[in-house]
Structures are given as structure tokens and as C-alpha cells.
Structure 1
Amino acid sequence: MVGWGSELSRAIIRLRLTRGGRVALRGLAVGALAALALVGVRVLSARPAPPDLGGLLPATYPRLDGPAPLVALVDQHGERFTIRDLRGRPALVTFAFGHCETVCPLVVHNALAARRRLAERRPGTPPPALVVVTLDPWRDTPARLPTLFERWMLEEGDIALSGPVEQVNRALDAWGVVRQRDPATGDVVHPALVYVLDGSGRIAYASTGAVDQLVELMERTAVRTSSARRP
């Protein structure tokens, strides 16, 4: 075992000496973080699932049904924001940063596409707000949020959030976002993660951000909310 560990250490060092090797190691790190995030989601207290709606996901897909964190951040208008400011509107909450050119743009694009598809499939369903919390408060300062809002093609009623580094990190920890920042480049390794919130500000589901998955989870949330409001 000692010999195997030494060989592994030397292999990792050799990988770090080449650009391709560093890319491969970052990929492995993303995979490990994604696995940790999935484990974290699964160990949260899940409530009974809604009836099977005949979609892609099993009826046993875990519903989290926990309160969303209320850590205050700063939005693209320079105003203080917490989840309570949604005032009963459902939401998708995801995490990204401006210098990211891989996972982040895709996750934001998928969330917007899922919202459009939900509107097509369930006309009259309140459209969820898309809330994007930066993973890089060092560079994505509140002053830069209007630029990111446009770059991510967010729409009226959507929210981009940043703030002081300590406050943003506190918010990310409260949301359970697994991440690792490279202090040399400022880049952040992180899994794709989107939370589906109901109109009461509670986390209904966690998703990896695939469009079809998000649509189905939003539909389940809407059905459950409608049922709860019936006398």
C-alpha cells in the first residue's frame, strides 16, 4: 500500500507539470465535488415524494422541503436582498461566476430554457425567478453585477447576487455549495447545482441543472403548491 501511494503521488506530480495534466486533475476535482454534493443532497431529510407524474424522474426522487437560507446579499441594483424579497414567487437558485466559461453559462442557460418550457407546458403557472449567486465575490463585485446580468441573459425579475467576500462565503456555505477556489487563478471548481424553491421560500428539490429534470421538478412543485392551497 505504501508503494502504491508513492506511485500515485509521483503520478499526480507529473500530471501537474503539464497543462493537459492540470486540466485532467481539475476534471477529477469537479467529479469529486459533484459526488460530494450529491451525497450531501441525499442525506438531507427528504419528505415523501409526490405521486408519479409520468415524467423522467421516479416518484421517489427526494423532496428536501427545508427552509432556504436567509443570508442577505446585494443584487444588481445595489440593494439588499434575501429570499423573503421574492414575496411568494417561486424561484430557481443557482451558483456561477463571471470568469467561468464552462459549467456556469450552461447551468444558467438551462435554467432559463427550463422556465420557458414550463410556461409552454403549464400556461398560467407563476414563472419562477432565477437567482444567481456568485461563487467569486473577489471579482464579481456588486458593481459588476449589471454586466453579468446582461451576459447571462437574465430577464426582468431575475436576480444576480454578490457582496462582501465573507458574506458571500457564508451564504454559499448556508446553501451547501461544495467548492474549491484556486488562489492563483481565482477560478472556482464546483458542481452544477440548481435549487427549486416553492412560493413559501422553502427548498423543494435540488437538481444538477438538466433542462428536462428542472421542468419536471418545477411541475411537481407547482402541483404540490396548488394542492396545498385548496380548501
Structure 2
Amino acid sequence: VLMIISAIYLIKMPFPDHRAKKETAEKSSAAAVAPQANAGKLDMAIFTLYGYIGMATFYLVSQWLAQYGEFVAGIPHESAIKLLSVYTAGSLTCVFVTAAFVKEVFSSAVAMIVYTFLSMMSLLIVCLFPTPMIVTGFAFIIGFAAAGGVLQIGATIMAMSFPNGKGKATGIFYTAGSLASFTIPLITAKLSKMGIASIMWFDLLIAIVGFVIALYIGYRQLQVRAAAKTSRVAATA
């Protein structure tokens, strides 16, 4: 029903004229590309890797959180299953926080860095101190930081970095995420033979890589802003 309502709403919405003159399109393209500090192949590879890392981080937790709580932290089975509800609550909370504060209070790149840092630190703590209380708090924080929209933030920044190929960029980003959904279960199945605790340590490694990537993306966004500021100064001079 919601999809039908959305479709009816979109039918009535105006869309940009894709038949505009070529000269206008070229000017708009040049204006859009210039502030992006010439994002290249390295950026494409970094964003693609982040698409994989971002999906892997929360997908792994969502699949193994209950087992980790039960067999590592010693939480009763009935309570361990409820950890997924706590995880979901954290995810939903982040959706509202992100919608309210991103771009109004801080940029998308800053949000990405903060969320990936929270994921990394929460995984480190739960690996070092797997107590029932820590694991319960971890379930909420990792749901908030890793599954509440950080992947979508990454996709948005990637699309902005490649204004002439937003659809292609988004497709590549989510394809990498799909590969994570396929490969992570294969990896964790082997790790589980060593012990479920090793799975969270593996996720911590993934989160560390994700945080480093987020820092790089944040640095590139600073370059973008600097280039945009220089362009505005040159235009008004």
C-alpha cells in the first residue's frame, strides 16, 4: 500500500528536464565536477570497499549476536534472542537521530566518522569484556552505529563525489554490500569452528578498516570544500 501511495505521489512530482540544451548541461556538469576535487579511481575503489565493509560490519553482528550473547557472555537463551530486539531499537533510534541532525548540525562525513568510530570501540569493548551487561549495551550501540543509516550516508557521499555517474556509483556501492552479504557467512562459518568469540574479533578488524576508510573519506570531503571555496572566490574576483 505504501509503495502504491508513493508511486502516485511521485507521478505528480516534477523532474528535471533531461532534454535541456547541451550547453547548459555541460556548464552544470563542469560546475558540479570542479568542487569535487577531481575524485578519481582511488576514490571509487575506497567507496566500493566501504560499501563492503559497512555491510559486513552490521550483517555479521545481526547473524551472530544472539549466539555470542548465549555462548560467550553466558546470557540465557531466551534473553540472548532478545538482544536482536535491542539491536533493532538502536538501529531505529539512529535513523531518527541522523534525520534530525545530519546536515543541520554536522556533515555527512562527520556522521560517518563518528558512527564507524562507535562501531569500532563498541566491538573492542565487547571482545575484551563479554559480560551480559556489556553485550546488552553493545547490541544497542552497534545497532545504532552500524545499522542505523551509516551505509546510506556512505552511498550518498559517493554519489555526490561522482555527480556525472550517480546511478553507476550507487550501483557499485550496493553491489559491494551484496558481496559482503554473500561472503561474510562463508568466512564466519569457518571462524565459528574456532569459537564464536573469534567472529567478533574478526568484526573488530573489519570495523578498524572501516574507520580508517571513513577518515580518508572525511579528508577528501575537506578537500572538496576547499576546492569549492576556492572556486567561489575565483568567481567573485
Structure number with the higher strand fraction is: 1
Structure number with the higher helix fraction is: 2
Would you say same fold, with TM above 0.5?
no
Structure number with higher relative contact order (C-alpha < 8 Å, ≥ 6 residues apart) = 2
TM-score normalized by structure 1? 0.25
Larger radius of gyration: 2
TM-score normalized by structure 2? 0.25
